[in-house]
Amino acid sequence: MTQILETQPERTDLPLTVMPCVVADMIEPFKANFEVLRDVTRLRMYTDTTLDPDEIVRRCEGADAVIVIGVHIDDNLYTRLTHTQGHAKCFAFGGTGVASYIDLARARQDGVRVCNVRRYGDAAVAELAIALMMELARHVGELDTQVREGSWHGVFGTELAGKTLGLVGFGGIGQHVARIANGFGMRIQVWNSHVHADALAANPEIALVDGIDDLMATSDIVSLHLPLTDETRGGITFENLNHLRPGSMLINTARAEIIAPGALERRLERGDLLAGLDVFDKEPLPQDSPLRSVPGVVLTPHVAWRADGAYASLTRQVMEAIVSFYEGGDFNVVV
């Protein structure tokens, strides 16, 4: 049953912020930060996960700012919330890859502020990337099913120790993956068009590879950690993926859109790769997606960011971005 949580409802002199939907396990972390908004804005928070655009517009009536959790603000919904049925002037997005959810160029043109959150999930996303590697290497889920069904024959596994891990991208998440993988005894190499010298200086055991094709061809496991930008969208092509060696692993906990449309499915259909995927071009993943039937692929429903520490940081940053909007600051402004 949907609840409506409101802060300072009597303060009608304050502007209104609306959170039209939310992931259930984020409710308590958000409530823990309600006090941040005191004397700045009223908040109306709906505690379900509706994605119905008509209902979202109805809920956001009168909102000066909208907190965006899990819903794509497509062109039609954007127009309704900012011009025809609403007057929202700020979207505070509860994530990093806001370009996948809101048309930033249009918002910039209209003078609508868009904020995101930053570095909130470095550990959480890195840990899921490692978990996907472990699942592909040691098949824990399959083994659990075997035992529960009365089988004891097991599955032959792969050691990660001694394997070469290629990281495409070396920001906060990539660096955290590297630290964990180093503890496993893996060899680590990195390709990134914008590698920071200080990051590599702090990790002298990590090799910098000049080309992404070279990294794909020489890695036992490739893990993607690029942000989604105009520059990176579709930047990993089928030709790049074709350099992956048979038997190697591909992990994506970044964004599906950094891979050219159809390129991943085309490469995986050959059946000689393992893959762990947490992100997809269309979410939820359609029932007819070929990814569902490719052997050797582990699928998770875009949950890398969903962990206690990440939630604490994310919810705090969203609230601080809202306060900053109303007080004339620039906290976490994207456009």
What tokens appear for 233 in the block?
Answer: 């969208």
**What is the three-class DSSP state of 222?**
strand
Residue 334 lies in a domain: no
Nearest to 229 by CA among 255, 247, 207: 255
Q: Which of 255, 257, 267, 320 is catalytic?
A: 255
Active site residue 255: yes
Contact status, residue 244 vs residue 273, Cβ threshold 8 Å: yes
Amino acid at 244: L
> Does 203 lie in the same domain as 292?
yes
Q: What is the CA radius of gyration of the chain?
A: 22
**Is residue 204 reached through a cis peptide bond, with omega within 30 degrees of 0 on the bond before it?**
no
Residue 8 lies in a domain: yes
Report the CATH number that the domain containing residue 86 is assigned in CATH.
3.40.50.720
Residue 332 lies in a domain: no
> Does 222 lie in the same domain as 109?
no
Q: What single string gives the DSSP state of each residue in 123-189?
A: HHHHHHHHHHHHHHHH-HHHHHHHHHTT----------TTPEEEEE--SHHHHHHHHHHHHHT-EEE
> What does the pLDDT read at residue 195?
63
> Does 278 lie in the same domain as 152?
yes
> Does 140 lie in the same domain as 100?
no
> Does 221 lie in the same domain as 139?
yes
CA pair distance 256, 228, nearest whole angstrom: 9
> What does the pLDDT read at residue 97?
84
**CB atoms closer than 10 angstroms to residue 22:** 23
What tokens appear for 261 in the block?
Answer: 């449309």
> Does 267 lie in the same domain as 147?
yes
pTM as predicted: 0.88
Q: Which of 80, 187, 267, 302 is catalytic?
A: 302
Residue 86 lies in a domain: yes
> Does 177 lie in the same domain as 256?
yes
Domain of residue 222, residue span = 122-299
> Does 162 lie in the same domain as 100?
no
Residue 18 lies in a domain: yes
CB burial string 103-131: b at 16+ within 10 A, e below: bbebbeeeebbbbbbeebbbbbbbbbbbb
How far from each other are the two terminal CA atoms of the chain, in whole angstroms?
35
> What does the pLDDT read at residue 202?
72
Residue 333 lies in a domain: no
**What is the three-class DSSP state of 286?**
coil
Contact status, residue 9 vs residue 42, Cβ threshold 8 Å: yes
> Does 210 lie in the same domain as 131?
yes
Only one residue has tokens 């992100």, namely 279
Q: Which of 28, 269, 283, 327 is catalytic?
A: 283
Active site residue 302: yes
Q: Give the chain's count of helices (H) and strands (E).
A: 12, 13
Amino acid at 18: V
> Does 164 lie in the same domain as 90?
no
Contact status, residue 237 vs residue 258, Cβ threshold 8 Å: no
Positive or negative: CA dihedral 292, 276, 73, 37: positive
Residue 199 lies in a domain: yes
Contact status, residue 249 vs residue 273, Cβ threshold 8 Å: yes
pLDDT values of the chain reduced to their tens digit, one per residue, 335 residues = 889 999 999 999 999 999 999 999 999 999 999 999 999 999 999 999 998 999 999 999 999 999 999 899 999 999 999 999 999 999 999 998 898 899 999 999 999 999 999 999 999 999 999 999 999 999 999 999 999 999 999 999 999 999 999 999 999 999 999 999 999 999 999 998 676 667 776 777 899 999 999 999 999 999 999 998 889 999 999 999 999 999 999 999 999 999 999 999 999 999 999 999 999 999 899 999 999 999 999 999 999 999 999 999 999 999 999 999 999 999 999 99
Contact status, residue 13 vs residue 43, Cβ threshold 8 Å: no
> Does 132 lie in the same domain as 111?
no
Contact status, residue 22 vs residue 69, Cβ threshold 8 Å: yes
Q: What is the number of structural domains in the chain?
A: 2
Residue-level length of the chain? 335
Residue 92 lies in a domain: yes
> Does 320 lie in the same domain as 207?
no
